[in-house]
Structure 1
Amino acid sequence: MLMYKYKESIPEESWELINSTCFQGIIEAFKLDKVKEDQVKKLESDFEILMRHYNSDNKNFIFGNTEIEITEHDVHSIFGITKEGSDVDITIDQKYCKGSKKNLADSAVFGKQTRRTITRKVIDDTLMEELRKIQKKKGDPRKIASLVIMYLMAALFFSRSGNHIEWKLILKCEDLEDIDRYNWSHKVLEFLHQGLHKHVKGEPRVLNGCLLLVLYWFYTGSLRKQK
């Protein structure tokens, strides 16, 4: 994961900014290599078994006569992100038009909006560039903190087959002082159910959403029952 890869290069000021947000806990887990990005891939067979029990109409899982669902409280308990606050709109801006004055606000990291989404590779490359600048005393710790959170959004919470995140979400990740006022647990869960529903219907074949949430939710629930 990017946080583990660059943890020694990210300046303390950036870590302080990250630690002031609700994403501190999960980023710390990646930073310490306690959670690995490829864990979902290794557990793909287990996930496919779980999907056989998913009811897309009721957004829950059915095991025999038992129906259980992932709640916002579960998301909060697993990742530590906010479970109260305003809803956050991260839909792709379909009205975007290159050169239009009606486009979304400029990004502190990427400048004027020149596309609807930003890919994970662009986020990674931009972060490396900022870290190189830091070594020359020219980098911006705030941009680095925002880029780390952007990468978390693209790689984990709002993972897509195209590995991109919306411009609206980019802007939210740059607003570090207000980022915790949104109900991120609700949005992560909502996005996951949208991805699971599409997968059940056969499109796309690659699942969108935080698959790690489903696996952690299931295994932690199983462990509780065994005690």
Structure 2
Amino acid sequence: MAVAQLTLSSKNYSSWSLRGWLLCRIAGLKVEEKLIALDDADNRAELLLLSPSVLVPRLTHEGASVWDTLAIAEYLHELYPDAGMYPADRIARAHCRSVSGEIHSGFANLRSALPMNLKVRHAKFPIFSGAKPDIERIETIWAECLDSYGGPWLFGDKPTVADAMFAPVAERFLTYAVPVSAMAAAYCRTINSWDIMREWIDEARVEPDEVEELDIEF
């Protein structure tokens, strides 16, 4: 049987690659990683959001080729319904899909103001006013989930698709020392101490610094 392959972009900079990889790990699908070279023109277009159709991450599995993080999530959920990628309860599952879709399609100002960079930590960072409503909305989402389902993950005692989708945001908040509530800060620490998140961060930190500066939203 052919090994599943996951095509990825920069581990340090690409939040979408991180999301796709986390989803595969939550599902329990072993994948062979295919990293696109940072100097590859198509990869740079993806990082700069210049590509008309962002095709990274891409999961290739048993004849299927799946791109877009939510498509990957749904595909994996079909394959591994017992992996707990979504909550078992119908209402909670709908909530999980809704907040995952919201982070997937929104928060452009946050993406622009606080691009993912796992190699750095800022003690203080100026956040322009346009990003503040995005930050407030994310805190609201997290508070609603953590209050409703008891934490420490957004939907209870184990990570779901929603945690994979919000993990890059939590890392952004840590990178840029974004002032957030105690509850949100605790959730950021949960994400940062997640064993598979630590694995990704370790690999991101040894990634060659071939992308010097990116004026992007990702």
TM-score if structure 1 supplies the norm length? 0.26
TM-score if structure 2 supplies the norm length? 0.26
Larger Rg: 1
